[in-house]
Structure formats: C-alpha cells, structure tokens
Structure 1
Amino acid sequence: MPLAEIPLCVWRKRSQTFVFRGQTIRYWMTGQGEPLLLIHGFPTASWDWHYLWQPLAQRYRMIACDMLGFGDSAKPANHRYSLLEQADLQQALLAHLQVEQPVHILAHDYGDSVAQELLARHYEDKIEIASCVFLNGGLFPETHRPVLMQKLLLSPLGWMIGRAFTRDALVKSFRQIFGPLTGPTESELDDFWSLVDSNHGPRIMHKLINYIPERREQRDRWVAAMQRGEVPMRVIDGEVDPVSGAHMVERYRELIPDADTVLLPNIGHYPQIEAPVHVLKHYLAFRDRFALPPRKVACS
C-alpha cells in the first residue's frame, strides 16, 4: 500500500522557526518517543521526508529542519556555507528543543555528510548518537560522481550558472538521477523547484556546492568514525543512482567492518521519494534489531 503524501502547502503550514546565528531556520517536529533527526540533501529540503513523516511519527519523536541555505530557511548571500556549520545547526536545533537523550539519525545526500560530522563528534564526546542510517549520498569522495550541474557550479563560472539555474535545469538534473520507472511527477518537480527558488535560492547555489571539496578535507576523519563500529549504522541505497548507487555501496562494504547495507533495485538517488514503502520497511527492521524489549509489568 502506498504511503500518503503531505502536500507541500500543508507541510509549510506545519513549520516552526528558531534563530541560528542571526538567521531564521524553519523546522518541523511531531510524534513521541526516541528522537529521530532527519537530515535532507542538496539541493532540496526537509519536505523530501514527507512520505515517511507520519508513519515514523507513530513510533518516534520526529525532528527536521531546512538547513541554512535550503528550502524555506534563510539563504544569506554573503555567507560561507559549511557542512560543519550545518552540523552546528542540527545541534542547536536539538538544544532549542531541549533534546537531551541520544539521537537517532536518518540522512540523505548532503545530509549524509552532516551526519558523518555528527558521528565524528559523537566519538569526540560532543553529542550522543544512538544510530545512523544513510540513504544515497557521497560517503566517500572517491566514489562520488557529480552530475554536470554540480561540476559547473564548482567551476569559476559557478556564480553565473547558479543565478541562471531554472526549473528546467532542475528537471534535467533530476531525470538523470531518479530510477527509470520512479521519476518525479510534474507536481513534485513544481514543489522541488519552489523550495529551491524560495528566498532567492539560485543565487547561492555556487556557495552551497563547496560541500564537495569540504567532504574531501574531512574524509579520513569521517571514515575513521564510521569504522569504529560502536554506533549501529545501515545504508539503504537506490542501486541505479549514477551519483552514489551500487558503486558507493561496494566501497562501503570494503571499508566498513560488518557493513549493513540494503540495495533497492531500479531505484535512483531519492529512495525516500521513489520507494518510501521499502525505505520505511528497511528502516524499521534496522531499528527493531536493537530496540530494547518492552518492560514486563506485574499484574495482581
């Protein structure tokens, strides 16, 4: 049975705001239970999780934000965007919500890199991470295969490419990375574009893309954290994604001891949009593996 979508207009109405270093950040929270932090990818926003939002909220306290420079959050033009700052933002959001217990993470794409930074900080005693699940993303710079638009944004003409970025350019990029039978609808493309275009987003895309070289700088530190093996991890990956599909999972299995991986056949870069039922099933199976048994209650 397909999962019900949350229309973007409804999603936006449910948002709240807090201020991070002088910038307004949109965030969402619902549900009860152990905190589950969802971290979105580039160039989209937290609405990416809308199919999974309500089903997961039946078991967990759901938390997500549009990161700085993304979605409906602030997109300052004169700012040096950084994955490390985005990790600071996630910790600031948790502090704002007074979350004190260990946090579970479900991340995608750019969000995978933020999650890797948080995982490294876990081993530096700066945050407590209870588990981490990665969807398609550039976990290893050596396996990341950027699309043409990303390469152009990284070039000296990136500022010009970003300002000229249109819905048509987004559609062209997305058609390269979604699965052959699971491409986004025109309505979904309208919504994705609305989030990219919000707050003059295209003018900063060349600044956001600096996450690619930043990944290379942090690579060894992040991989070392993943290899520690003390925090349960799983990869749920769309197999035919040309950016970070089966080839990335193969590298993950080479580098990570006792690698826990799931490949989704014929699914591309956005499994939470393309195959949310399968992502939900594999995520809950992962969590059920190490969930604490229910307490026995004595009856008299």
Structure 2
Amino acid sequence: MRGPAVAGERGPFGPRRPANHEEETDRIFADSTAQAKKTWPNRTVGESPPWQTLLARARPRLPDRAPRHGAPHDPPERKPTKTFASRGSVPRSRATVSRSLARRPAPPPMSVASVAALRTAGGSGRRRGAGSPHVGLNGGRFLMMQRRELVTKAGIALAVSCSMATSPASAAGSAQGLEILPFKPDGYNFWTWRGRRIHYVEQGAGQPIVLIHGFGASAFHWRYNIPELAKKYKVYAIDLLGFGWSEKALVDYEATIWMEQVSDFLREIVKEPAVLVGNSLGGFTTLFTATEVPELVRGVVLLNSAGQFADPNKPAAAPAEEEGEGSPLSRFVVKPLKEAFQRVVLGFLFWQSKQPARVEKVLKSVYIDSSNVDEYLVGSITAPTADPNAGEVYYRLMSRFMSNQSRYTLDRLLGKLACPLLLLWGDLDPWVGPAKAARIQEFYADTAVVHLQAGHCPHDEAPEQANRALLEWLAALDARATPAEPSLQTV
C-alpha cells in the first residue's frame, strides 16, 4: 500500500500532486500576491494585476504546458515528454505543437447552415471537456485532435450546406441555364385509370404533346424539356403504371398494358390528337400506341427507342406456343423451380439497382456528359423504389414483359404506322446505337432523323439541342397540317 504523497516528491510521470492541494494553492496564491506587490509597489493589492493573471499564476500548470521564464514557483525540471513527428519533419514536443496551433489564424466564420450541420455531426459541443478551461491530463494531444476534428467537421458541414444551396439547374453544366421543372415529392396531378392512381404533369397551352419516360424513370426525367416546350404547346408527362409516382399495381405487365394506359389517357385527359414523344421503353410504348389508335396521334418522336426487329431466320412464335401447357413435369416441377430461382436472382438485382450509388453509376455509363447526373435525377429514380410493392413489380416486369417483347417487333409496328416520325438519336448510346435509327429510317419512309452527340437519354443529357430540334420539327408538322390558303391569282 502506497503512503500519502509528499509535496515535491517525484513519481514515474513527473511531480505528484501535493498531499494537501488546497493549502498548496493558497500558498502559491499568497506568494503570487507578494510578487505582485514587489512588481507594482505603488499600487494597492486591489490595483494589482487583473484577477485573470493572478488566477493563471496560482492555478497548477498543465503537465504539457511549457513554463514561462521568470514566473514564480515553476514546477521542477522533468524529462521530455513523448513527441509528435510529422512526415519529413523534425519531431516536436506537445508544447511546441500546442503553441503553433495557437498562433494559427482563426478559421473563417461559418454560415448558419454549417453551424447547424456541425452541431448535428458533433453533438452539443461540450462533450469531452470541450467547454471547460482545463484540457485534461493529455492536453496537448487532445487539443490537437480536437482542433483537427473541428476543422474536418466544419469542412464537411460547409460542403453539405453549399451542396444544398446550389440548385440542380445551376449545377448542371450542359443544361446551360434552362428552366427546370420543380421537384415535388408528392407529385403533381393524379388520374384514376382502372382503379389505379396514375401520376402526370401538365403545363402550357396549345397543341398537345405527351412525353413518356423510359424504364425506371418518371415524368421528372423531362425536367428540362417540359418548361421549354410549354411556352408554345400544351405539355403532358405521364408516369407509366408501375413506375415513378404511379401506383405499383400487382398486375401482369405485358407490353399492351402501357399502350392501353396511354390510349385512355389521350381519350380522357388530353381529349384531342397529340404528338407522342418517348425515350427507350417510352419510345416503344409511343410507337405501339400510335399503331393502335392512329386517330389520336398526329406525330411520333422516338429518342433511342427500345424494341427490336424480327430475326428473319427465326419464325415468330405464336402466343399459344409461348404460353404452352407443357408436360406435367414441366408445369409442376421445372416451372416452379425456375420461378423460385428468378425471384432470388431478380430480388438481389432489384436491391442492388435501387441503391443511389448504383443508379448514379449506371446513369454515368449511358450519359456521355454526366454533368446532369445530379441529386435531382438520382432521387427521382430511387424515391419510387421505397414503395412496398416495388420489388414485386420489378420481378414481374423483368420476368414477363422483357421475355415477351419479341412478340411486338419494330418492323411489325412500323408497318402499321400512319403519321410522321422523328428520330432524336443519341449516337453515342452504348445500348442503342445509331444503326437502329438508320434501319428505322430505311424501313419507314416518312422519317426525319436528328443525330445528337449524346448517350441513351439525349433529352436530359443535351436538353438544349433536343428542345431546339423538337421545336423545329413540331413547327414543320404544324405547317404541314395547316391547309394552304387559296391563291388570289385568277386562272
């Protein structure tokens, strides 16, 4: 058992605390007062140095604090403490590090948003003695770590606040200051179709245009196109069933379901012939709709459309053959095992595909200029995946529609088309190259093609060029539909 500490006795880590700390403090305070009288002989005790100075002298010094020359009752000499060494520099003591940190200029003031974010990240600010005048036994090391942590958190908070303060329109370089459709978490308008809620956006006045998004996207994918087109036309952008803010209905997703949805949308909401504009899956739906209800469609615009031409070496399978009954072994053993395997695989793919980092990576792979791949776009794609039915809808889409797409080939649909066609094609698309646009133009005579140096979604990657080309084609279509005025020249 160790006996009581003796004042001035040295221990393995320096001078031990005196046995009677309060008496020692009083003695130091009295000696400091006496020293003050010698230093300022013409003043009374009350006029001696400020109380902060006396308190600083009377308070026991921190173990890592360098002594001031000439100060009374300095602690006895002790061995050098452990030093810090930065890369390529001479080792410095903790006292030297502390003094160098103290001489650094104060960081610039942070905004209110930065301070709020810093409090959220770092707690109340008084944890671990942050608000106390005593730093602690390991004062120099802790002070340096605390300052480093403060600077790091402040930088993160400042970056977050700047990111939130920057609008997507200004952050997107290729948008070139175009007006952007405001993002509304609750959506814009809803229409009930066959008992299901369908989301759509409506802006402008004039001849109607209906915009149809691609796989996994929504009406918000036309964010740079809707405001610009609405200056001259009545613009609608619809979310297909199972996508975006439309209901995640548990139905069999055949290609016909979206064709019927768009056809009924034209009848019940638009109520007059319109120009249909579609990207990817939306392009295929647009073309399918135009062939089924030609009286409601006055023109079609395809942007890197999905769909495929029939293989001349492979005869088309009849629907009955595709749905074939098969043997009992196939129906009761093979088919259930196949579906179970598909659910496991597609379930994992859905979980992976809805991660923001994964969505951003895929978008950047099909956007040649990824300036517009921002939080607005990624959020508009990932937000609908939070729906409880989203996983099941994904499974049904991948297992039904994608496998049956060969029943509705592009040559079959183009053979029934009876209106002008415009191809706005991103020639740098890694999925659907310009060869398909050339083949469509070769197959359908009434086709105009505009080649854009963009990827799979040229309307969002290069919106200014896409808007200009679309408006020029629409103006020509309007002039084409207007009957010529009778000539005043007499025969």
TM interval, short-chain normalised: 0.7 to 0.9
Q: 1:14 to 1:294 in 2, by over 3 A?
A: farther
Instruction: Note the residue ranges of structure 1 that are not aligned, 5 or more in a row.
Output: 144-154
Q: In 1, Cα distance between the equivalents of 2:186 and 2:350?
A: 28
Match of 1:252 among 414, 433, 440: 440
Q: Is the contact between residue 347 and residue 391 of structure 2 (CA under 8 Å) also seen in structure 1?
A: no
Equivalent residue runs for 1:23-172 within 5 Å: 23-76=196-249, 78-97=250-269, 99-123=270-294, 127-141=295-309, 156=342, 157-165=345-353, 166-172=355-361
Greater radius of gyration (CA): 2
Equivalent residue runs for 1:163-182 within 5 Å: 163-165=351-353, 166-182=355-371
Q: In 2, Cα distance between the equivalents of 1:26 and 1:181?
A: 27
Q: 1:160 to 1:65 in 2, by over 3 A?
A: same
Q: In 1, Cα distance between the equivalents of 2:271 and 2:262?
A: 13
Q: Is the contact between residue 133 and residue 235 of structure 1 (CA under 8 Å) also seen in structure 2?
A: yes
Q: 1:199 to 1:134 in 2, by over 3 A?
A: farther
Q: In 2, Cα distance between the equivalents of 1:54 and 1:133?
A: 18
Equivalent residue for 1:146? Answer: none
Q: What one-letter code is carried by the residue in structure 2 that aligns with 1:243?
A: W
Residue 240 of structure 1 pairs with residue 413 of structure 2: no
Aligned-pair distance for 1:198? 4.6
By percentage of residues, which structure has more strand?
Answer: 1
Q: Summarize deviations over 1:138-180 as a string: whole Å, max 9, x none.
A: 242579xxxxxxxxxxx83324422443223322322221114
> Identity, % of aligned pairs?
21
Equivalent residue for 1:148? Answer: none
Q: Summarize deviations over 1:15-60 as a string: whole Å, max 9, x none.
A: 1112112211112212111111111111111111111111111111
Instruction: Note the residue ranges of structure 2 that are not aligned, 5 or more in a row.
Output: 1-175, 312-340, 486-491
Q: What one-letter code is carried by the residue in structure 1 that aligns with 2:432?
A: S
Count of aligned positions: 274
Task: Detail structure 1 runs of 4+ shifted over 6 Å in the superposition.
Answer: none
Q: Summarize deviations over 1:80-132 as a string: whole Å, max 9, x none.
A: 112211111112223332x3321111111111111111121135xxx421011
Q: In 1, Cα distance between the equivalents of 2:484 and 2:183?
A: 39
Residue 184 of structure 1 pairs with residue 359 of structure 2: no
Q: In 2, Cα distance between the equivalents of 1:295 and 1:198?
A: 53
Equivalent residue for 1:269? Answer: 456
Q: In 2, Cα distance between the equivalents of 1:221 and 1:294?
A: 31
Q: 1:258 to 1:86 in 2, by over 3 A?
A: closer
Higher RCO structure, 1 or 2 (CA under 8 Å, sep 6+): 1
Q: What one-letter code is carried by the residue in structure 2 that aligns with 1:238?
A: G
Q: Is the contact between residue 183 and residue 274 of structure 1 (CA under 8 Å) also seen in structure 2?
A: yes
Deviates more, 1:283-292 or 1:200-209: 200-209
Give 3-state SS (helix, strand or coil) of 1:38's partner. Answer: strand
Q: What one-letter code is carried by the residue in structure 1 that aligns with 2:469?
A: H
With the length of structure 1 as denominator, give the TM-score of the two structures: 0.82
Q: What one-letter code is carried by the residue in structure 1 that aligns with 2:441?
A: R
Q: In 2, Cα distance between the equivalents of 1:181 and 1:25?
A: 30
